[in-house]
Amino acid sequence: EHAAFFAERFPDLIFVPSDPDAAARESIASWCAGLANVAPPLAIDAAAGDWPIAAADAVLCINMVHISPWEATLGLLDGAARLLPPGGPLILYGPYRRADVPTAPSNEAFDRSLKERDPRWGLRDVADVTAAAEARGLRFGRLVEMPANNIMLIYHA
């Protein structure tokens, strides 16, 4: 749904969506049917080192960091560092924790529900994600407040 939304609004860009789950890729393909600027979805496990793509101008990751093990976030950062040209953006969207900023009660409840589903899941701290990104040569660009207690984090290769 996200790929279709952005592809319709940015027709001059080519989108290459991905998901490790076959059913999710089928859903992506269905949402994007008829959109000439969306490639068939790739099977990418963010935690795996071998991705079926050699380069990207940008990497956009929506609602994955909190619904996956920390190793998937580290793999995403590794992959972005490999794929992006100098200055290319890595954009992460979702709920995060921040030092000195109270987490919304709804996000605390969401975090608990995620950890009940899988103890390796949960809201990540912006400082931890940034430290891991910088260890891979990705520099922090900015944090953008988004609706519904979400944040967009932008890093650059």
Confidence of residue 116 (pLDDT cuts 50, 70, 90): very high
pLDDT at residue 106 tops 90:
yes
Rounded CA-CA distance 68/77 in Å is 14
Whether the pLDDT of residue 138 is over 90: the answer is yes
Q: Classify domain 47-156 by CATH architecture.
A: 3-Layer(aba) Sandwich (3.40)
Per-residue H/E/C for 57-82: CCEEEECCCCCCCHHHHHHHHHHHHH
Show the CA angle centred on residue 112, arms to residues 106 and 115, nearest 5°. 140
Residue 97 has pLDDT above 90, yes or no: yes
> Inter-axis angle of helices 22-31 and 2-9, to 10 degrees?
30
Query: What is the mean pLDDT of the segment spanning 6-18?
Result: 97
pTM of the model: 0.95
How would residue 104 be classed by pLDDT, with cut points 50, 70 and 90? very high
Pairing outcome for strands 59-62 and 89-94? parallel
Across the chain, mean pLDDT equals: 97
**Cα distance between residue 6 and residue 15, in whole Å:** 8
**Statement: residue 29 has pLDDT above 90:** yes
Model confidence at 38: pLDDT above 90: yes
CA gap 137, 7 in Å, rounded? 29
Cross-strand partners of 56: none
Query: Where along the chain do its domains lie?
Result: 1-43, 47-156
Closest by CA to 132, choosing from 67, 64, 80, is 80
- Calpha distance 77→100 (Å, rounded): 25
Which helix (H) or strand (E) covers residue 140, if one does?
Answer: strand 139-146
